[in-house]
Amino acid sequence: MKPDLSVTLGSLRLRNPVMSASGTFGYGLEFAPFYDISRLGAIVVKGLSLAPTHGNPPGRIVETASGMLNAIGLQNIGVERFIEDVAPRLADAGATFAANIYGRTVEEYEEVARRLSGLPSLAAIEVNASCPNVKEGGIAFGSSPEGVSRLTGRVRNATDKPVWVKLSPNVSDIGSVAQAAEGAGADAVSLVNTLVGMAVDHRTRRPKLSNVTGGLSGPAIKPVALRMVWEACKRVKIPVIGIGGIQTAADALEFLLVGASAVQVGTANFRNPGVCVEILEGIEAFLREERLSGIGEYRGKLAL
């Protein structure tokens, strides 16, 4: 019997738990040459802002031990062009897709969310509450439960779409931040975003990124991400989407095991553009092998 790969995230049912992570998958259509993009649980597109954004000067990426740092600076085409040019083509391709959004102010977040609400084909809005450059009253939104709560509440009121809040790992108590999102009406939380890091050249004595610091991703962050997802799962009732260093079906299963309802795959897409489908097939093979009827029989079953 074919195992049931479908998962539910609140009111939303996905055909499987494998999604792409924002910023590592373009606008989704770029992967159509490699496989049928409608096979994914969902595609999460590059972070969208109200106006197109130029991003940071070059010196945007640095490879590190089993990982990479990026400081792209959220270069994107802006929400309007996404709605007009990209969303219809994603819908035509039969893809389930979510929009990752960010703003410089709470009002910008609200406005981007409002504009996206009119897109019938859009499955969800993922709020990037972890951008270190976004400040309000001197507090970065993502770094405190209060900031996350305020941002979540405002976006929640601006849209009828499911709202996923993407959390920063650069906090001391991830559980409290996840609870704050839940309390303010989030339909799910996704974590983790990148860990703030830095690379310098000891000879030239210069930083390797134009932005000096950047976000660490890839297998190097997986243990940290797994621990944070596990902690968040214990503290909230809403679904948790696990992200961070996932490269194989086994990695994805580990996140499901500690309680995640779904996963997102990021940096691994760079080395192997076909990786999401390989992970998907690997999960199905595992469920068969273990004679499990579906994800539900496995999720959160960590034996402590």
Partner 1 sequence: MPSSRMRTAEGRIVCNEGHGGIFYRLEAALPDPVGFVPGQFAMVSGWPGNDPLLPRPLAIFRSAAGPKGKGTVEFVYKVVGRGTALLSGLHPGAPLSLTLPLGRGFDLGKEGRLYWLVGGGVGFSSVFPAAAALARKRADFEMFLGSRTRDQLPPKEWTPGGTAPGRLHLCTEDGTAGFFGRVTDAVTERMGLLSASEASRLTILSCGPWEMLKELALGAANRGVEMQAALESHMACGFGVCWGCVVALREDEKTAYRRVCKEGPVFDAREVVW
Give the residue numbers marked as catalytic: 131
Work out which of 34, 104, 176, 199 binds partner 1, going by CB under 8 A. 34
Nearest-angstrom CA–CA distance, 13 and 11: 7
| CA distances for 204 relative to 68, 201, 208, angstroms | 20, 6, 10
User: What residues contact residue 63 under an 8 Å CB cut-off, 6+ apart?
Assistant: none
Nearest-angstrom CA–CA distance, 204 and 235: 46
Contact track, partner 1, 283-302, x by CB under 8 A: --------------------
Contact track, ligand FMN, 132-161, x by CB under 6 A: ------------------------------
139-140 and 135-136 as β-strands: parallel, antiparallel, unpaired?
A: antiparallel
Give yes or no for residue 203 binding partner 1 (CB under 8 A).
Answer: no
31 binds, among ligand FMN, partner 1, none (CB under 5 to 8 A by kind): partner 1
Closer residue to partner 1 in complex, CB, 62/127: 62
Contact track, ligand FMN, 237-276, x by CB under 6 A: ------xxxx------------------xxxx--------
Total chain residues near partner 1 (CB under 8 A) = 34
73: left (phi over 0), alpha (psi -120 to 50) or beta: left
User: What residues contact residue 223 under an 8 Å CB cut-off, 6+ apart?
Assistant: none
Q: Specify whether the CB–CB gap between 214 and 228 falls below 8 A.
A: no
Closer residue to partner 1 in complex, CB, 60/135: 60
Residue located via tokens 């760079």: 270
Nearest-angstrom CA–CA distance, 8 and 238: 11
Interface residues with ligand FMN (CB under 6 A) are 21-24, 46-47, 70, 72, 74, 100, 128, 166, 193-194, 217-218, 221, 243-246, 265-268
Interface residues with partner 1 (CB under 8 A) are 23-26, 30-31, 33-34, 46, 54-55, 57-58, 60-63, 65-68, 70, 72, 75, 218-219, 247, 267, 269-274
